[in-house]
Structure 1
Amino acid sequence: MSRDWLADDRADLAAERILDAAARLFAERGVAAVGMGDIAKAAGCSRATLYRYFENRQAVRLAFVHRATRRIAAEVFARVGAIDDPAERIVTAMLGAIEAVRADPMLIAWFRPGESGAAGRISQDSDVIESIAAGLFPPTTLTDPERSRLARWLTRIIVSFLAAPGRDADEERAMLDEFVVPVVSRAFA
Structure 2
Amino acid sequence: MSWVDRRTPAVERILDAAGGLFAARGVDAVAMGEIAAAAGCSRATLYRYFPDRPALQLAFVQREAVRVGALVAADAPATVTDAVLAALRHVRAAPALAAWFREPDAGRTADLAQGSEVVEALGLTMAPDPETARWLVRVIVSLLTVPGGDEAEERRLLERFVAPVVRSPAS
TM-score by length of 1: 0.81
Structure 2 equivalent of residue 3 of structure 1: none
* In structure 1, distance between residues paired with 2:123 and 2:76: 13
Instruction: State the partner residue of 2:11.
Output: 15
* Equivalent position to 1:69, from 43, 65, 69: 65
> How far is 1:128 from its partner?
1.0
Indicate yes or no: 2:153 matched with 1:171.
yes
Is the partner of 1:26 in helix, strand or coil? helix
What is the CA–CA distance in structure 2 between the aligned matches of 1:11 and 1:70, rounded to whole Å? Answer: 13
Q: Which residue of 2 aligns with 1:5?
A: none
Name 1:161's counterpart in structure 2.
143
- Which amino acid is the alignment partner of residue 100 of structure 1? H
**TM-score, length of structure 2 as denominator length:** 0.89
Partner of 1:183: 165
Pairing of 1:114-129 with structure 2 (within 5 A): 114-129=104-119
5+ long unaligned stretches in structure 2: 1-5
Number of residue pairs the alignment of both structures matches: 165
Structure 1 portions without partners, runs of 5+: 1-9, 139-146
- Equivalent residue number for residue 36 of structure 1: 32
Aligned to 2:3: none
Q: Distance in 1 between matches of 2:35 and 2:161?
A: 41
AA in 1 matched with 2:118: V
How does 1:141-160 map onto structure 2 within 5 Å? 147-160=129-142
**Partner Cα distance (2:112, 2:122) in 1:** 14
Cα displacement (A) at 1:11: 6.8
Is the 2:68–2:122 contact (alpha carbons within 8 Å) kept by the matching residues of 1?
Answer: no
Q: CA 1:175–1:24 in structure 2 vs 1: closer, same or farther (change >3 Å)?
A: same
Q: 1:135 to 1:169 in 2, by over 3 A?
A: closer
Identity %: 52
Q: Partner of 2:50 in structure 1?
A: 54
Residue pair 2:69, 2:125 contacting (<8 A) in 1 also: no
Alignment match, 1:111:
101
- Larger CA Rg, structure 1 vs 2: 1
Residue 96 to residue 182, structure 1, CA distance change in 2 (3 Å): same
